[in-house]
Amino acid sequence: MARFAINRKESFGKPPGSVVFIGKKRVETVGIELITFDQGSYDEVAIPVTDHVTLPEPDGRLQWYNVIGLHDTDLVRELGDQFDLHDLLLEDVVNTELRPRMEEFDNCLFFSLKMLRFDEVKNLIYSEQVSIVLRENLVITFQEEPGDVFDLIRDRIRTKKGKVRQSGADYLTFALLDMIFDHYSSAVENFGDVIEDLETDLLDNPTSDMLNQINQFKREINFLRKHIRPARELAFQYSKTESPLIHKATRQYLKELAANAAHASEIIDSYANMLSDFLHVYHTSMSSKINDVMKILTIFSAIFIPLTFIAGIYGTNFDFLPELHWKYSYAVFWGVLILVGLIMLNYFRRKGWF
Amino acid sequence: MARFAINRKESFGKPPGSVVFIGKKRVETVGIELITFDQGSYDEVAIPVTDHVTLPEPDGRLQWYNVIGLHDTDLVRELGDQFDLHDLLLEDVVNTELRPRMEEFDNCLFFSLKMLRFDEVKNLIYSEQVSIVLRENLVITFQEEPGDVFDLIRDRIRTKKGKVRQSGADYLTFALLDMIFDHYSSAVENFGDVIEDLETDLLDNPTSDMLNQINQFKREINFLRKHIRPARELAFQYSKTESPLIHKATRQYLKELAANAAHASEIIDSYANMLSDFLHVYHTSMSSKINDVMKILTIFSAIFIPLTFIAGIYGTNFDFLPELHWKYSYAVFWGVLILVGLIMLNYFRRKGWF
Amino acid sequence: MARFAINRKESFGKPPGSVVFIGKKRVETVGIELITFDQGSYDEVAIPVTDHVTLPEPDGRLQWYNVIGLHDTDLVRELGDQFDLHDLLLEDVVNTELRPRMEEFDNCLFFSLKMLRFDEVKNLIYSEQVSIVLRENLVITFQEEPGDVFDLIRDRIRTKKGKVRQSGADYLTFALLDMIFDHYSSAVENFGDVIEDLETDLLDNPTSDMLNQINQFKREINFLRKHIRPARELAFQYSKTESPLIHKATRQYLKELAANAAHASEIIDSYANMLSDFLHVYHTSMSSKINDVMKILTIFSAIFIPLTFIAGIYGTNFDFLPELHWKYSYAVFWGVLILVGLIMLNYFRRKGWF
Amino acid sequence: MARFAINRKESFGKPPGSVVFIGKKRVETVGIELITFDQGSYDEVAIPVTDHVTLPEPDGRLQWYNVIGLHDTDLVRELGDQFDLHDLLLEDVVNTELRPRMEEFDNCLFFSLKMLRFDEVKNLIYSEQVSIVLRENLVITFQEEPGDVFDLIRDRIRTKKGKVRQSGADYLTFALLDMIFDHYSSAVENFGDVIEDLETDLLDNPTSDMLNQINQFKREINFLRKHIRPARELAFQYSKTESPLIHKATRQYLKELAANAAHASEIIDSYANMLSDFLHVYHTSMSSKINDVMKILTIFSAIFIPLTFIAGIYGTNFDFLPELHWKYSYAVFWGVLILVGLIMLNYFRRKGWF
Amino acid sequence: MARFAINRKESFGKPPGSVVFIGKKRVETVGIELITFDQGSYDEVAIPVTDHVTLPEPDGRLQWYNVIGLHDTDLVRELGDQFDLHDLLLEDVVNTELRPRMEEFDNCLFFSLKMLRFDEVKNLIYSEQVSIVLRENLVITFQEEPGDVFDLIRDRIRTKKGKVRQSGADYLTFALLDMIFDHYSSAVENFGDVIEDLETDLLDNPTSDMLNQINQFKREINFLRKHIRPARELAFQYSKTESPLIHKATRQYLKELAANAAHASEIIDSYANMLSDFLHVYHTSMSSKINDVMKILTIFSAIFIPLTFIAGIYGTNFDFLPELHWKYSYAVFWGVLILVGLIMLNYFRRKGWF
């Protein structure tokens, strides 16, 4: 399948706003978690998912719904109806190939982006689609499978660490995005370490394996860039939105978020440029090597080919070849050979070839 | 003929607004289809095309005229008169080489773009000029030949699927553009699959066939890009226009349309960059191969040329050549040959050449 | 002379606004043609040019003066005085090396650009400086020599074809510019055909002639681009100007003009990029060829140099060289030669070299 | 560690606004210096740092606090509380990997950037994080270790040189930034000298050492660029801010600051481009050298290989080889050899090879 | 010294606004010339420079002071005091390494740029720092040494040519800048001629000298670009400034000035691009040459190495080598040699190698 797939194949030709799941089904049953909290109290429940989902009434406290598993489009649609979400928003929620974006709807802000987790043991980056809906006193997150980068935020809610418990839905959304971006930065750094190791090797001894490696890194960095760059726009848009859902106190945090996203994106670009330079260096260093090989060949050829020719002359069988019969010919012959050899060697030495 | 042809040859020097057909005549007789519908009822008729065309009176329901075949400029002019369309608009309708664009006229919005259909059997992309005129309660589409990407929309109208039946002319126009863009995405994806296959081969074993292939792909991607990039601007312009023809409810869809067009356009650019990288990789990998070939040549030459020289010395016919007559000379000779050979081999092995 | 010459040498150090002719004198005597027309009537006269020029009184109809020949700066200055034109405008009129531009003066709009005519017989592009002054009910064009691209417009005026006769000075100016741009497009297309022919040849069999050709095309496309790009800005500026000289009805045409100029400019860029790619392809394909040549050399050398060495051994004249005297030596010798040759051939075949 | 590290590892997952020290601890104990001055009087004290820090009451004069050492986050937080600074500001103060930025808070302006000091003896650039907080009548600077670029400003305060004593906090902040930027310019210049030395060597005799050097310089210039470019934005932002903290008289200085920062940034870019050109020149010059080596090889081979062949013919032992027995054969043989050699030499000379 | 030097070394650490001379002292004593004029009268005096400078009272006519020599910073400061100039302005006046800029002060406009004079005899471009201060009824120019590009303007003042005598300080400033820009254009053109000569040579016969030359031209064009590009911004800024010092009548001239500066800047870029292309062409053409050399080597080797081998076989001394004793062996031997040679020649000819 194409790497940069838009992958609307499944939704191809469907009316816009059709809730069609695009992606690989990663989990069997859909789960819904609800955390309700304000400064004073805190509740955590799992909503049972059957044919019909009954959601608890909002009680004035901030609600954070987390929906795990996106393939059950009927459920997503039902949730959408209960929360009065636009059908385009729902279409985007279940499309795991969507370009990261923020969209403003009448009653909510919608964020769609990739969540990256770096598995240090397997040296792999896991990527998962996550959507965030921000409404007054309500945050809904949609993710593809259990396990996410939000556990630290759940901890902060439980332990009242930081400002999450004192703040509103806009701050919680900021905190979720900030956590996702922290993981971007972390992935970028891990990647940077590997690239810089390669650089040292490249300058020492370029091999054709490295050419493959440079290429592979280029692909991976393009993958990262594809997700992080639009996320930067998203953060910038979020910090600039005039939606009444954002309180004044949160603005300063959003500016910080946008600045950090810009920083991560810049660093990615730095690494991408480094890789392009690597290719250039590899190529230049290869032509330098060709030059060296050529010199060796030329030195050997230019010395021994004339000598062989001289020897060839006295290997001829002419009847009248006076030098052959002179007593000191052989010694002179050797002298000439050595002389010619030395002249050639000197010639190349003066050219600075060795 | 030039690939990026502007091809105003036929209209060359004609007064602006002259309705001159530019392109290849693809159909014998022009056809006009009319679909009239509102939420409740639905009619589909073919308008007979004779010397004079009689159009049914609008009855308050939304009318969608589809004109097939653009070479009959008299007919187009007559339709233009009946619908009160600007002569510049008509000139653009029959110009199949036009750059995709949206233009605002006093009484209508005009869209001109390419419709791409990927034929999976023949592995070919068919391209056809399509123009859309959006007026109050009226949509007119012009296309070059029968067969288009709109059948799914006709189905939705017939079966009341989606929102087309409930919405106005602006939504229908959106739906038509969305369908065209869906086909762009699909073409891009199909193309991406082929490019990525090439990449694997390229790293494994670059051949000069691939150079040709990279070039051909570059041309094809330029073709796609030429059509999709301005279509992106078109979508953006449509989503931003302040024309009273657009209802508020449709705006959200137009934003989505613009975002999707932007996405498709970005992916095209990614593939174009990949192809440029391929050329670079091919080139670098070629110089790496030259280096390898040079090494083999140098190893053989540097070992055997000196040996041949030594043999040459003892092939000379000097009368006084003492070594020739010594009993163990031949054995020593072989010893020297082997020794020199081993020294050379060792020298290259230490250089890491094999 | 420098190709991209600014060429103010003649005006060097002159006070700004000095009317100094810059360019080559292309015509002996200056000619002035006047076409006066409105919807109803039409007159065409040649104004006699003597020491003093007497211009007919304006009679309420639209006047189009066409001045042929720019070297008679006294005449230009006199005309300027009679028409009350700014001295900077006059300086620009007689400078044939001016960058295409549009300028707004108090009482008029001024356009300066190149007129390109493609001579299909000689396969050459002729370029000529043309200036257009647009005032209320008055258009003045200045050109370097007789013969221009405006004959079709004169025909339209004479035959009342198109809208020129019904419209004002702003439409006439548009029509003149549109005609000039039509010729740009035509030049670009002709050029494109030649470039695309080259592409086919390049992929089949790159020769060093093509390198020269690519370079020459690059130069020519730069020439075209130098004139067409700023003309695009000019068209855009014209379509955006808020000058009261432009009537509302003409605006739509100006937008079209700007779009077409943008299109021509984009196509030029496409061809320029194609040429850059050609250079890259040429280079890559050259290194691929070097590789092929190297392989042939290496195969021959690596097979025959060892064989020659073996033959050389048995050409030595050692007294005690037992193999020489054995009856089957020669046959075995041949066997060894053939064996070694086959081993080498097999080695290169397995490497995929032939 | 990654070179372009974002390095939020220590703050990873911490709630935003957490004051977590990021960087290497460079100093044991934290020091706080306070300079209080107005036009008439001047005081300099070291604030004792114990568990609790007692700050002197402001007395209407301008206060400049300088905090040395950032690892004691408790102290930073306490200072933050006493000065009523936003927790995001404090988080940024102790993050030594922050991208240079200016941020506006409700009661202050915040600047974070790198201070570069060039050690001419060791030929090294020391870099240190510095944060500046500008409030009404108060400037706070935070730095990592003792020793900074501000001594000259302290001197000016002590000796009443320049305008620092007569001006407010905004001018002092300007003076601090100006000093930091002066050091940037100085670092760039020192670097430029080295690069230009390399250029001369490169054109004279490119060696593969230079390839390494070009690469190292590229890395270093990227390091400089990474710090100086965003500092340029910072200066621009500072000169444009509408904060009431900036007095009218200071604006002109801020414009100058921004212009100088822009200049330094441009010069960096010039050097970066020069380095890219160097790589290109190196590569091209290498292929030119390969060509030279090839020519030498070809001349020797093309002359002596045919000669050796001729000698080989007369080294054959055919019984019937008439030339061998003719008296003048040997002389003719030499004549032929010399003739063939001269023809070849002449051929290459006419090709302009030597 | 670094080429792109900022060179604030002398002012390093000095308080901003310190008048510190930066550059080489080019003249012993400072001179001050004053031209006072209006439409009717005209005066030219040299102001004596002693410890104290006494300036004549303004008499309502336009005053143009020209200060020659910048190293006497005391004098510059004194003049600054008498004319009430900002100390930042004075700092910029004596800094000969300043980036071209225009700055608006409360009571004046300040221009700082390079004056280029092309010495056609020595083929060198002289560059000199010039600053212009524009105030109501007063223009002050500062230059480094006697001799400038303004003599033509002085002539125009003396002879009442052009509009200088009728116009104000703003027009005089325009005229000075226009003259400087005219010299830029002239320098660019002279440079262009040389570059285009190189192009012809490059395509005919690329030598490694040309590589050096291309590089040197690149450096020189960067030098020109460094000065002309910001001057273009300066001209644009001047044409846009809303300062009351500019009269309406002068605006049209300023627009012209900006357009000409833009043109010169574009032409510089064209030449810079041409040089980059040259490097590319040089490189490609070099690899084409390598290919040619390789072909010659391969042809000679591939023909004569096998032939030498065959000769080698019959040079062996095997006792039983039947071919040696057959009467027609030698003739057949020659036949075989010629046959093999012809086959090889034919092979290469069919490959299109010669």
Report pLDDT for A2. 34
Report pLDDT for E35. 94
User: What is the chain D residue with the closest CA to A157?
Assistant: D15
**Which amino acid appears at position E159 of this protein?**
T
Report pLDDT for B123. 65
| Residues within 8 A of D (CB atoms), E 105-134 only | 105
| Residues within 8 A of B (CB atoms), C 242-271 only | 252-253, 255-256, 259-260, 262-264, 266-267, 270-271
User: In terms of pLDDT, which residue wins out, D29 or C139?
Assistant: C139
pLDDT one-digit tens code per residue, D293-314: 999 999 999 999 999 999 999 9
In this structure, of A97-101, A123-127, B102-106, E70-74, the range with the lowest mean pLDDT score is A123-127
Closest CA to B118 of B196, B186, B205: B186
Q: Is the pLDDT of residue E316 over 70?
A: yes
A67 phi/psi in degrees, rounded to 5: -100, 125
Report pLDDT for C6. 41
pLDDT one-digit tens code per residue, E229-246: 888 889 998 988 889 999
Residues C150, C115 contacting (CB under 8 angstroms): no
Pairwise CB contact (< 8 Å): E178 & C16: yes
Q: Which residues pair with E129 in a beta bridge?
A: E114
Between CA C56 and CA C77 the distance in angstroms is 18
Chain B nearest CA to A354, separation (Å): 15
Q: Is C332 on the interface with E (CB under 8 A)?
A: no
Which pair of tokens denotes residue D178? 């100006």
Q: Is the pLDDT of residue D51 over 80?
A: no
Laid out side by side, the sheet with E42-47 consists of: E42-47, E31-37, E62-68, E138-143, E124-135, E109-119, E101-104
Report pLDDT for B11. 61
Q: Is the pLDDT of residue D8 over 50?
A: no
Which pair of tokens denotes residue B32? 């006009």
Confidence grade of residue A123 (pLDDT, cut at 50, 70, 90): low
Report pLDDT for C99. 83
Q: Is the pLDDT of residue D140 over 50?
A: yes
Which residue in this structure is represented by tokens 């369309």?
B85
User: What is the chain B residue with the closest CA to A317?
Assistant: B317
pLDDT one-digit tens code per residue, E294-312: 999 999 999 999 999 999 9
CB nearest A288 (choices: D12, D211, D311): D211
Helix (H, G, I), strand (E, B) or coil at B106: coil
CB-based contacts of D144: which residues, under 8 Å, 6+ apart? D23, D26, D27, D68, D69, D70, D96, D128, D129, D130
Give contacts of E6 with chain D, Cβ < 8 Å.
185, 188-189, 260, 263-264, 267
| Residues within 8 A of C (CB atoms), B 177-236 only | 205, 208, 211-212, 215, 218, 222, 226
Report pLDDT for D11. 62
Pairwise CB contact (< 8 Å): D17 & A163: yes
| Residues within 8 A of E (CB atoms), C 7-26 only | 7-9, 12-18
**Which amino acid appears at position B252 of this protein?**
Q
Q: Is the pLDDT of residue A3 over 60?
A: no
Q: How many residues does chain C have?
A: 354
Give contacts of E294 with chain D, Cβ < 8 Å.
294, 298
Pairwise CB contact (< 8 Å): B309 & A314: no
Q: Which of D198, D291, D293 to mutate to test the interface with E (most CBs of E within 10 A)?
A: D291
Chain C nearest CA to E153, separation (Å): 8
CB nearest E324 (choices: D284, D298, D319): D319
Confidence grade of residue E3 (pLDDT, cut at 50, 70, 90): very low
Which pair of tokens denotes residue A345? 């060697």
Closest CA to E192 of C15, C222, C25, C271: C222
Pairing of strands E62-68, A124-135: unpaired
Give contacts of C174 with chain B, Cβ < 8 Å.
16
Q: What is the pTM of this model?
A: 0.81
Report pLDDT for E108. 93
User: What is the chain C residue with the closest CA to B1?
Assistant: C193
Report pLDDT for E1. 30
pLDDT one-digit tens code per residue, C56-114: 888 889 999 999 988 888 888 899 999 999 988 998 898 888 888 898 998 899 999 99
Mean pLDDT of A298-320: 91
Q: How many residues does chain D have?
A: 354
Q: How many residues does chain E have?
A: 354
CA count, 13 A, side-chain hemisphere, B161: 14
Chain D nearest CA to E157, separation (Å): 35
Report pLDDT for D1. 30
pLDDT one-digit tens code per residue, C183-201: 888 888 878 878 878 887 7
Confidence grade of residue D6 (pLDDT, cut at 50, 70, 90): very low
Q: Is the pLDDT of residue A7 over 60?
A: no
CA quadruple D267, D268, D271, D272: dihedral positive or negative? negative
User: What is the chain C residue with the closest CA to B223?
Assistant: C270
Pairwise CB contact (< 8 Å): E281 & C286: no
Residues B278, B196 contacting (CB under 8 angstroms): no
Confidence grade of residue A6 (pLDDT, cut at 50, 70, 90): very low
Pairwise CB contact (< 8 Å): E306 & C311: no
User: In terms of pLDDT, which residue wins out, B61 or B353?
Assistant: B61
pLDDT one-digit tens code per residue, E211-220: 888 888 888 8
Q: Is the pLDDT of residue E30 over 90?
A: no
Residues A217, A195 contacting (CB under 8 angstroms): yes
User: What is the chain B residue with the closest CA to A212?
Assistant: B203
Beta carbons within 10 angstroms of residue C154's beta carbon: 16
Secondary element (H or E) of residue D115: strand D109-119
In this structure, of B85-99, C125-139, D164-178, E3-17, the range with the lowest mean pLDDT score is E3-17
**Which amino acid appears at position D283 of this protein?**
H
| Residues within 8 A of E (CB atoms), D 139-158 only | 152, 156
Helix (H, G, I), strand (E, B) or coil at B109: strand
Between CA B36 and CA B44 the distance in angstroms is 6
pLDDT one-digit tens code per residue, C1-42: 233 434 444 566 677 777 777 777 777 778 899 999 998 898
In this structure, of A306-315, B69-78, E340-349, the range with the lowest mean pLDDT score is B69-78
Pairing of strands B62-68, A124-135: unpaired
Chain C nearest CA to B152, separation (Å): 33
DSSP code string of E328-341: THHHHHHHHHHHHH
Mean pLDDT of C263-286: 85
Confidence grade of residue B7 (pLDDT, cut at 50, 70, 90): very low
In this structure, of B327-341, D101-115, D224-238, E119-133, the range with the lowest mean pLDDT score is E119-133
CB nearest E179 (choices: C13, C92, C297): C13
User: What ipTM does the predicted assembly reach?
Assistant: 0.74
Dihedral, CA of residue C134, residue C139, residue C142 and residue C143, to nearest 10 = 110
Q: Is the pLDDT of residue E120 over 80?
A: no
User: What is the chain C residue with the closest CA to E274?
Assistant: C219
Helix (H, G, I), strand (E, B) or coil at A5: coil
Report pLDDT for A54. 83
Report pLDDT for A263. 83
Pairwise CB contact (< 8 Å): E280 & C279: yes
Which chains would you list as touching E if contact means 3+ CB atom pairs under 8 Å?
A: C, D
